[in-house]
Structures are given as C-alpha cells and as structure tokens.
Amino acid sequence: MTTVNERMVFLDGSRLIIEAMARAGAGAYIGYPITPVNWLFAGAKQRIPIALEAPDEITALQWAAGFSSSGVFPVTASAFPGFALMIESINMSFMMELPMVIILAQRLGPSTGSATTGGQGDLLLLRGCISGGYSLPVFCPSNLNDCWDMAAASVHAAVSLRTPVVLLTSKEMVMTNQNMDISGLNKIERAERHMHEGNGQYKTYGVNGNLAPPFLPLGNDLHQVRLNASTHDMEGITQKNSPEALGNTERLKNKIEQSVDEYTYFEHDQDEGADTVILTYGISAEAAREAVGLLRASGESVSLLVMKTLLPVPPRIYELLSAYRHVVVVEENIVGLLRELLYGNRQHDRVHGVNKIGHMITPQEIAEGVRQCRKPS
Amino acid sequence: MQETILNDLKMPYCPGCGHTVANKSMSKALADMGVHPLDVIVVSDIGCTGLVDPLLTCHTIHGLHGRAVALAMGIRMGLEHPDKNIIALQGDGGATIGLQHLLEAARHNLDLTLVVQNNMVYGMTGGQTSGLSSTEFKEPERPETAVPGYDICTLAQNAGAAYTARTFIGTDTAELWKEALSTPGFSLIEIVEMCPAYGMRKVQELHDTADYESVVTRNPRAVGLPHRAIGRSLLDGLKPIEHTCEAPLEGRLEIIVAGSAGEAIQSAGDLLSTAGITAGLSATKKGDYPITIGTGFSVAEVILSRQPIHYTGIDCPDIMIVISQDGLDKVRSRIGEHTLVIADAKLGPELEELAGQLNLMTRDFRKTGGSKGAALAAIAHWLQDNGFLPIEALIEAASRHKHGDKMKVIIDKAVAA
C-alpha cells in the first residue's frame, strides 16, 4: 500500500524535462511546433514565464540568442528537420557564448521520415554541427529519472560554460506515460550566471584565466557589451586571424573539453568478471536493462554502461570500456553512430552492434547480440 | 565613454559609399536626442553594413546574414528595460534573406528600429543583385536578368509596422531618424544608396533607376511585448495515485486498445494504467494515431507489470481490445497466437474469418458504452471476466476523471452485462 511519503503519479518525460529546466532557471521557451516535441511545448506554455511560438526554427534560435544576451535563459525543442534549420544559429550562439538548451527529440529519418516513430539517428549530427569540429555538451536521458536530472544538468552546464547545450532524447522518452514516485526526485538548484562585478575594465570575452568569461547583459548601464559571431578578440571586435582572436576561438574548444569531468554522467552496472559490456544511451538503455536481467537470470555474465553525457566523449567512458573483451553497442539506427563516434569507421573485432530502425530494439534482440558476439568465429 | 555612438576610427567604406553617410546620420540623430550610447544596442548583420561594428561605442551584437531583425526581436522581448533603443542594421541582401523576420517584427510591432541600407547589390561578393535591386539596376555579369525588387516599406506597412520611411542618400535624414527612433513599436528606414564598387556613381543615376520613391507611413498601434506569466509547477498539480487494492497479476501483461479518433481510446488507456497503479502495479502507456488527430485510427498501448517496466514496446500483445474498423485495420497484423482479442460485436465476423482459431471474445460494447465509452466498456468487461485487476481499481481510476460519473455508469453496465 502507499507509504507515507510516496507520491506515485503517471506522467511523461516531457513534463519532467520542462519542470526541471524551469527550476534550474529557464525563463523563456521559444518553439516552432513539431512532432514529437508537442508535449514539451504544451508543458512549457504552462510552466515557463515566457513561452512563444516562433514562425520557424531559425527564428526560434535567433530569439533564443536574443533572450540569452539579455540575461534570460532560453530553451527550445525540435526534431531533426527543425534542428537542421537551427544549426547556423547554434554556431552563432556558440561563438557568442550564449547559454541555452536545445532539446532534440529524435524521430525516424532521413528527412521528415516518420514523425511519430522513434529513432536514434542524430548523434553524429551533433558531433559535427559546429564548424571546426568543436563539441557542444550533449546530455541524454535514459529513463524518467534522467529526464529530471539531465534536464537540470543541461541548464547548469550551459550557464557555467556559457554555451548552447543539447539535451538529446527521442519520441519514446518524451511521449510515453509511466508511473513514477516523484517524492524521490533530486532537489534542483537554480543555475546562476557568473556575472562581471564592479566598475573596472570589462572585456566581453576577457576570461582572466577562467574557461568562460563573466557575463553582462546587453543594455546594462555600466559597460559596453560586444557580442560577436565572427572570429573576434577578447573585446568582441571582429578579427580575421589575429593570435588573440584565434586564442579566443581555441578557448571555446578547451572550455568544453577541459571541464568534461565535471559534467560526466553515466550508469555502470558492473558484473564482476564479465568479459562483455552492453554500451548504450537514451531509449535503448531501458531495453538493455531488461536484457541484462534476462542474461543474468540464465547465468550469463554481462555488464551495462549507459552514457548520459554523450559529448564530448568523457575519457572515463574509454577507461571503463577498456576493461572488457567485447563491447556490444546498442542504438536505434542501422549505421552505428555511437560505435563510429567511439571507434571510427574501421571494424574492430571486439566491437559489435545491435541496430534496428522503425521499432525499438527489444531486450531479446540485445541478449541475442551479446550471445552472438561471444560465439567463437 | 563618448557621448556619440561612433568613435574616432576611420569608416571602413569605399569612397562615395552611402554607408558612411548613413552611419554618421544615425550617430548625429542619437546625439541630438540626448541618447547615451549605453542606452543603445546595435544589432548588425553580415555584409558591408556590419563593418561599422568596431566603430560603435554602444552595445553591439554582430550575428548572421539576414537574421539581425530576428535577433533584435529576441533582445527586445528579453530585455526588461523598454527605454533602451534597439537598432538593427542590414543591407538589402540581409533584408532579402530575412524578409520573414522583417514581416514578423512588423506584425508583432516590437519596439525596435530597422535600418536597411539598400545599395541594391551584394557588394562583398561580386555585385550580385538582391531582392531589393530595382528593375533598371545593372548587375555586372548579367545585366539583362533584372526583375522588380520588393517594396519593403509597403510590405512592412501592410504587416503592421508603426512607421516606415524610404529616403535616398544625399537627402537630409535627421528628422526621419528622430521620428523612427521615437516611434513606439516597429519602425523601418530604407535608405537607398550607391555602391561605388559595383553600382552607379551618381546620385541622379540612383534616382533615375529606382522603381520606387521616398515615402513615409505612420500606423500608430499597440506595441507588442511577450506575455510574462507566473508558471505553475507541472508536478504539484498531479494528483498522487493511491495504492488501495491488490492485483493478482504476477508478471507482465501487454494490452493494445484500438479504435477510431474521437472514441476516447487514449483516455481508456490512461484509465487502465491508472487502475493498474491503484492496484500496486507498474504501468506504461503510449498513444499512436495519425498526424491528423481528428480522423482515422487511435491506438493506446498499455503495459501492466508486477515488476518495474523498463522496455515499453509491445510486439504481439497479450490482450487486444478493438472497437472499430479503423482500429482493427491498424492492429490486425499484431495479433499473435497467444493474443486474446476482445472486439465489438460488429467486428466479430471479420475476425472469425481472419483466423479460425482466434482466441476471440465479442460483445456489443458500442451499445453498452456508446462510441466514446465502448473501449472502457470492453476493458471493464474483460477485467470482470478474468480478474487481472479488481474492478474497484477501474472505478477508483474513473473517479479521478472529470467525466468520472459517466464512466462509472458505463463500467456498471459493462459488468452487469
């Protein structure tokens, strides 16, 4: 029977993501409606102080950048077709160092594909979407609890690193209702921007040894703010390729990569002595958890590693994977995007894939994949 | 800090370029109005117009080609200081790319000023024509391909701009600037200029080739601003589901409920899930329906389990409840050997024909519950028949619903039948 503190409800991931982001400080949601982010949009309209329909996704990102430069934390959400339109403006925001979160709910592609069918086909798009190859931080919830925790982590990383962050999810995560006891949800602190203080000299991109510069909003009464999407010096003045400007651009790479340990999230369900690990993320993680149960119930040893920080790839992930003879990478695409991200295009004897499109990968298929890779060739 | 928004650096423009004059006019107008540079935010576009950025002593934000107006809109909506002046600077190329943004800003009538410095040419990339180039403008490589340009003042006016003005370089623009900057809402100044590198070199030639003339329009109306609400928690409003009874179910049960749009299939799925949670089970539910949600099939997939549910997919369900032809057409292929099909009586003949050995139960659920209650009637009948869940759990779940009284009547009728 219900215990005293329990609060069992029936809800979807969209609701948790929006509520968590609101608590972490999201002040504006700007969206162009697209399936499967419908429920995110609906939740934002109830919860976020400013919630706006943009006429298209380019506008959505430009408005988001405007909000962010004014000091309001913006969130937007889309699927691949809209995200593709956003990419130039995400690059702009990355270069200007404007914090924001873009929720990317994956669906079956290519192109418009199937709007109401799930998928995991956009990981490498995120890896390559910033010209120059820089990583955006990308977080990925693997269950309802993660929808809460990773949504909050996204806002905090965006604010502390002054960067756009992507929360990568999928149709099945944001449009499936499940029971959940919400009394155990972690408390979420509001993410506060590191502000420039005092009347001393202010350079918009002056970092004083830190990874990210302190913030002042456009329109403040004390200091001129110069935000710039072109290659720029520390003042924010366009430069072709001066050492100072190139140094500033290099810092954009460093600030994301050097701090990755601070925002590395994963789940490692280690089976002592196991020579095989199932590696996965997002919606496939839930099937993998059941597959682990199936295998262990039949006496077959296996570990599970669920990545929740996908980009930049945390070094800790490679350390953990190196302990296993077989790595079975499970993802809902037929190319093997995570496999390629971690191991390149070359076939590795120890790396195997369980892949599929159009339907979620089942626990039985994953278990079979594990058994196959262990068979002597 | 200087009191003008231009510093002492040399203008980066070619001799005779209209941009130099336009920028100086802007700076003088702001100084004449006594506007402090830190009360100005200039949003600059890509192209020669954007080269002014380093010369400005005000706040600056230098973004993408064509997007300055959209970016300026975001700043205006985020900024809590309505007294700050926001000025977007674009060339005719940027205005062409971002025409939608221009119309959107006019439609919302957000308080900002857009200055389009129209020299009818993409000066940085080889002298190509833009959407604002006039018919007689001669593009260097293909002079014969000219088509009429957009009249952006008329477009902006029709979209709702509070103020629009077109002027030609060489004209005194001081009053236009002042009126545009002091007009509440969206104001547009189009300055028709020369590009000495690719276009004409004489002002008279500019006038001779232009399709349009100087114009000023005024359309005083309410200034747009986004609504700011005090958001309600998305969790606090969720009524907890009390675990008040027990279900005999030990394992996992996969159920598909299928019908047509408008037949409360999703509500029935939610109700069944809530009933399961009331009886101490884990539950998941997802919906499937066409993008055009008002027609065609509607399918709810429900899983009930004694154990926590991770994988939420269903291939061949244990139970399939079908109440309409749309629903049957959608889920027929998912009937497995072990599936118990519970169908409205009208579908019975087709199902019996479909598979002779089908595990089938039919009743006139549409008669019991009506089109909107047939799925619920079928669920109630099934639960009464097999006892996976106590019927009290379904009644308890219905009592949480805004149409709970009607639902209870349907449940009672179904159980009695």
Here the ipTM equals 0.96
Q: Please report the pLDDT score of residue B144 as a whole number.
A: 67
Contact: B312, A178; criterion CB under 8 Å: yes
Q: What is the largest CA-CA distance in chain A?
A: 71
C-alpha to C-alpha distance for A5 and B279, rounded to whole angstroms: 18
User: Nearest C-alpha of chain A: how many angstroms from B86?
Assistant: 9
Mean pLDDT, to the nearest integer, of B230-248?
Answer: 93
Task: Flag whether residue B41 sits within 8 Å of chain A, measured between CB atoms.
Answer: yes
> Is the distance from CB of A85 to CB of A58 less than 8 angstroms?
yes
C-alpha R_g of chain B = 34
* DSSP secondary structure string for all residues of B287-338: EE--SSTTSSEEEEEEEEESSPP-----SS-SEEEE-SHHHHHHHGGG--TT
- A377–chain B nearest CA distance, Å: 31
Whether B286 and A172 lie within 8 Å, measured CB to CB: yes
Identify the pLDDT of residue B238. Answer: 93
Q: Could you read off the pLDDT of A50-62 as tens digits, one per residue? A: 999 999 999 999 9
pLDDT higher than threshold 80 for residue B2: no
- Is the CB of A222 inside 8 Å of chain B's CB atoms? yes
pLDDT grade for B1, boundaries at 50, 70 and 90: very low
Judging contacts by C-beta atoms under 8 Å, the chain B residues touching residue A22 are 231, 234
Indicate yes or no: CB of A230 within 8 angstroms of CB of B231.
Answer: no
* Interchain proximity B41–A218, CB inside 8 Å: yes
Q: What's the rounded Cα separation, in Å, for the pair A330 and A287?
A: 9
> Which amino acid belongs to residue B377?
A
Tokens 């590696």 correspond to what residue? A279
> For A219, which of B79, B231, B235 is closest by C-beta distance?
B79
User: 């995400």: which residue's tokens?
Assistant: A90
How many residue contacts between A and B have a Cβ separation below 8 Å? 228
pLDDT digits (tens, 9 = 90+) for B247-279: 999 999 999 999 999 999 999 999 999 999 999
Query: Which pLDDT value is given to residue A23?
Result: 98
- Structural contact between residues A91 and A228, judged by C-beta atoms closer than 8 angstroms: no
B112 reaches A (C-beta below 8 A) = no
Q: Do B232 and A19 touch (CB under 8 A)?
A: no
Residue B246 has pLDDT above 80, yes or no: yes
Query: Would you say residue B120 has pLDDT above 50?
Result: yes
State whether B286 and A177 contact (CB < 8 Å): yes
Supply φ then ψ for residue A215, to 5 degrees.
-105, 145
Put simply, the answer to whether A49 touches B239 (Cβ < 8 Å) is no
B238/A89 CB distance under 8 A: no
Contact list, B287 vs chain A (CB under 8 Å): 175
Convert A69-130 into a string of H (helix), E (strand) and C (coil).
HHCCEEEEEECHHHHHHHHHHHHHHHHHCCCEEEEEEECECCCCCECCCCCCCCHHHHHHCC
Separation of alpha carbons A74 and A243, rounded Å: 32
Q: What is the mean pLDDT of chain B?
A: 92
In chain B, which residues have their Cβ closer than 8 Å to the Cβ of A41? Answer: none
Question: Quick one: pLDDT at residue B148?
Answer: 86
Alpha-carbon torsion angle A188, A194, A195, A200, nearest 10? 160
Which of B36, B111, B235 to mutate: most A Cβ within 10 Å?
Answer: B235
Q: Give the number of other CB atoms < 10 A from CB of residue B316.
A: 14
State whether residue B406 is helix, strand or coil. helix
Of chain A, the end-to-end C-alpha distance in Å amounts to: 52
> For the CA atoms of B253, B401, A38, A150, what is the dihedral angle to 10 degrees?
-70
Rounded CA Rg of chain A: 21
φ/ψ of B218, rounded to 5, equals: -130, 135
A222-272 pLDDT, tens digit each: 999 999 999 999 999 999 999 999 999 999 999 999 999 999 999 999 999
- What are residue B366's phi and psi, to 5 degrees? -70, -30
Cα–Cα distances in Å, from B342 out to B352, B376, B380?
12, 12, 11
Identify the band that residue B145 occupies on the pLDDT scale cut at 50, 70 and 90: low
**pLDDT over 90 (residue B155):** yes
Beta strands in B107-249 (DSSP E): 112-118, 163-168, 186-192, 215-218
Query: Which residues of chain A are within 8 Å of residue B273 when distances are taken between CB atoms?
Result: 10, 177, 179
Q: Are B301 and B286 in contact (CB under 8 A)?
A: yes
* Whether A237 contacts chain B with CB within 8 A: yes
B144 CA: distance to closest CA in chain A (Å): 34
Concatenating the DSSP letter of every residue in B194-222 gives: --TTTS-S-HHHHHHH-SS--EEEE---P
For residue A289, give both structure tokens. 């958890």
Distance from CA of B242 to the nearest CA of A (A): 6
Residues of chain A with Cβ-Cβ distance to B277 below 8 Å are 8, 10, 179
Q: Is the pLDDT of residue B205 over 90?
A: no
Per the rule left: phi > 0, alpha: psi between -120 and 50, beta: everything else, B66 is left
For residue range A101-115, list pLDDT tens digits in order: 999 999 999 999 988
A177 and B284 in contact by Cβ < 8 A? yes
B234 touches chain A (CB under 8 A): yes
Q: Is B349 on the interface with A (CB under 8 A)?
A: no
Return d(Cα A196, Cα B209) in angstroms, integer.
Answer: 52
For B24-41, the pLDDT digits (tens) are 999 999 999 999 999 999
Sign of CA dihedral B170, B176, B180, B186: negative
Q: Above 80 in pLDDT, residue B201? A: no
Of chain A residues 283-312, which have a CB less than 8 A from chain B? 286-287, 289-290
User: Is B310 within 8 Å of A48 when comparing Cβ atoms?
Assistant: no
| Rounded CA separation A20/A146 (Å) | 10
How do residues B327-362 score in pLDDT, each as one tens digit? 999 999 999 989 999 999 999 888 887 766 678 999
Alpha carbon distance B314, B341 (integer Å): 15
Q: Which among B104, B34, B30 is positioned nearest to B66, based on CA atoms?
A: B104
pLDDT score for B356: 62
Chain A, 6 to 45: residues with Cβ < 8 Å from chain B are 6-11, 15, 18-19, 22, 28, 30, 35, 43
pLDDT in tens, A301-337: 999 999 999 999 999 999 999 999 999 999 999 999 9
Choose among A137, A179, A357, A171: nearest CA to A263. Answer: A137
CA–CA gap between residue B332 and residue B358 (Å, rounded): 12
Note whether A236 contacts B: Cβ–Cβ < 8 A. Answer: yes
**How distant is the alpha carbon of residue B265 from its chain centre?**
28
Question: In this structure, are strands A138-139 and A164-170 parallel, antiparallel, or unpaired?
Answer: parallel
CB of B57 within 8 Å of any CB in chain A? yes
From the list B41, B63, B273, the residue facing A92 with the nearest CB is B63
**Selected residues 302-361 of chain A with any CB under 8 Å from a CB in chain B:** 359-360
Q: Is B381 on the interface with A (CB under 8 A)?
A: no
Higher-confidence position of A279 and B198: A279
Residue A168's pLDDT band, with cuts at 50, 70 and 90, is very high
